[in-house]
Amino acid sequence: MHALLGRLLLTWLVMMAVGSASAVEVDGLYQVSRKVADRGDAPRMQAFRQGLAEALVRVNGHTAVLALPEINRALEKPSSYIQGFSYRTQKIQQQLETSSGTNLSQIVSPIIDNQVAQVQPLVNEIEQLWLDIQYDRKKMQRLLVAQGQPVWGSRRPSLLFWTAVDLNGRRQFVSGEQSFGDQLRKSMLDAATERGLPLVFPLYDLQDRSKLTVSDFWGGFYQNLDSASTRYDADFIVTLRGAESAGRWSWRWQLLKEGRVLKQWTVEQTPQPAMAQGVSLITEYLADLYAIKQDLQPHQYQVLLTGLDSAEQFAQAEVYLASLGQVERVELLQLSNQGARISVTLLQIWPDFLRSLKLDQLLVAPVNPQELPAVPNDDKILQWTL
């Protein structure tokens, strides 16, 4: 999983922004890396099975998909869904000894205060064997569609994560420059990698702190939060407040858009499992918004693309359409002064396709009928906005 971190979350093939939309093209949805003990058949088959389960949840958005009988049967024969695999080794640090009788807050506090921790674990470098697996996108999608399950494509909303903690009554932002902040961020990224969720972290620099104080953040002053978040151009904002008392942690998660709280959760767990659970809850909420049910039977439409001023713009629109998981084929029929007339083969009906385009707002249906060019009755019209 760690090998995919850069490819899946930090490698953004296309970062297109129109207004407040900045959806990310997430790479590696059908790739999984698993640790294996050796190159034997048993460890490999176990990795195939676990990897397929991880990829199915990532593409569907919900862990509940694994409870379906047909999905369980597919997990018993994971080789049918594999395009290829390879082994590699990676040097990792293995912890040999940890401090005893020291709780997390005792270690965290001095690190957050930029002091040196009193106890450091001893580590030993070892070589870990990994199995990198590439699953078949079309076969996996057909499996989900056959069960009436939605498929979440590779264009996904970006999330800006603001995090602060309250330790012994002292509240402060948590950044990656602190040891505890780095561990917390790594737990978030691990969980987000597994679920295919692109994250953005604030710099917590002078510009951020001049617009948003810890008191503002903790008090929920969303106007200040929105002001500080504008520079990052993310689709959603996630606020995370963690408080530790007598060795027990409580984390309050909020998902916001345009200053409005869409959803909030409270998770009472230690930091690492709390990050996994919180990211999972957010992912499933977003999957309900953006994952689309597809049809086994393709639907073909003739579409007039308007708003194109050059061949380069048409090429951009064509590449964008072809990148969408619900688009099976795009074919140019005619170029004219009106625009580009194309044939599009979809794995969903037209209204669902229009709904899926709302995340990017790169292709939109014209809203003023009086301004529409004359087209055959069955033709659709989309306007390129970039």
DSSP structure string for 352-377:
HHHHHTTTT-SEE--S-GGGPPP--T
Query: Does any domain span residue 110?
Result: yes
Query: Does any domain span residue 11?
Result: no
Report the pLDDT value the prediction gives residue 365, as an integer from 0 to 100: 85
Do 166 and 270 belong to one domain? yes
Amino acid, single-letter form, for residue 12? W
The CA distance from 112 to 180, in Å, is 7
Query: Does any domain span residue 22?
Result: no
The CA distance from 185 to 173, in Å, is 12
Residue 332 in contact with residue 344, Cβ under 8 Å?
no
User: What's the total number of domains in the chain?
Assistant: 3
Do 131 and 172 belong to one domain? no
Which of 291, 324, 344 terminates a domain? The answer is 291
CATH number of domain containing 337: 3.30.70
Which of 256, 291, 326 terminates a domain? The answer is 291
Query: Does any domain span residue 25?
Result: no
Question: Which of 191, 192, 202 has the alpha carbon at shortest distance from 230?
Answer: 202
CATH number of domain containing 231: 3.40.50
382 pLDDT above the threshold of 50 = yes
Do 143 and 164 belong to one domain? no
DSSP 232-298: G--SEEEEEEEEEETTEEEEEEEEEETTEEEEEEEE-S-HHHHHHHHHHHHHHHHHHHH-B---SS-
Query: Does any domain span residue 20?
Result: no
Do 132 and 166 belong to one domain? no
Do 165 and 180 belong to one domain? yes
The CA distance from 277 to 200, in Å, is 18
The CA distance from 32 to 34, in Å, is 7
Per-residue pLDDT band at 19 (split at 50, 70, 90): very low
Query: Does any domain span residue 17?
Result: no
Query: Does any domain span residue 119?
Result: yes
Structure tokens, 65: 């998909």
Do 148 and 161 belong to one domain? no
Instruction: Tell me what the mean pLDDT of segment 262-290 comes to.
Output: 94
Do 265 and 307 belong to one domain? no
Identify the domain containing residue 240 by its residue range. 156-291
Amino acid, single-letter form, for residue 253? W
Instruction: Tell me what the mean pLDDT of segment 153-170 comes to.
Output: 91
Instruction: Tell me what the mean pLDDT of segment 25-40 comes to.
Output: 96
Per-residue pLDDT band at 109 (split at 50, 70, 90): very low
Positive or negative: CA dihedral 30, 34, 38, 41: negative
Q: Which of 205 and 94 is assigned the larger pLDDT?
A: 205
Instruction: Tell me what the mean pLDDT of segment 309-332 comes to.
Output: 88
Instruction: Read off the pLDDT of residues 215-272 as tens digits, 9 standing for 90 and up.
Output: 999 998 888 999 999 999 999 999 999 998 888 899 999 999 988 999 999 999 999 9
Amino acid, single-letter form, for residue 95? Q
Do 340 and 283 belong to one domain? no
The CA distance from 232 to 79, in Å, is 41
Do 278 and 368 belong to one domain? no
Do 164 and 287 belong to one domain? yes
Cα separation values, 135 from 76, 132, 359, Å: 15, 10, 26
- The residue with tokens 């790479």 is 27
Instruction: Read off the pLDDT of residues 43-71 as tens digits, 9 standing for 90 and up.
Output: 999 999 999 999 999 999 999 999 999 99
How many other C-beta atoms lie within 10 A of the C-beta of residue 31? 19
Report the pLDDT value the prediction gives residue 194, as an integer from 0 to 100: 96
Which of 128, 152, 176 terminates a domain? The answer is 152
Predicted TM-score (pTM) of this structure:
0.77
Structure tokens, 345: 């083969």
Percent of the chain exceeding pLDDT 70 equals: 83
Do 272 and 319 belong to one domain? no
123 pLDDT above the threshold of 80 = no
Do 167 and 284 belong to one domain? yes
Query: Does any domain span residue 56?
Result: yes
Report the pLDDT value the prediction gives residue 245, as an integer from 0 to 100: 84
Buried b (16+ CB within 10 A) or exposed e, 163-197: bbbbbeeebbbbbbebbbbebbbebbbbbbbbbbb
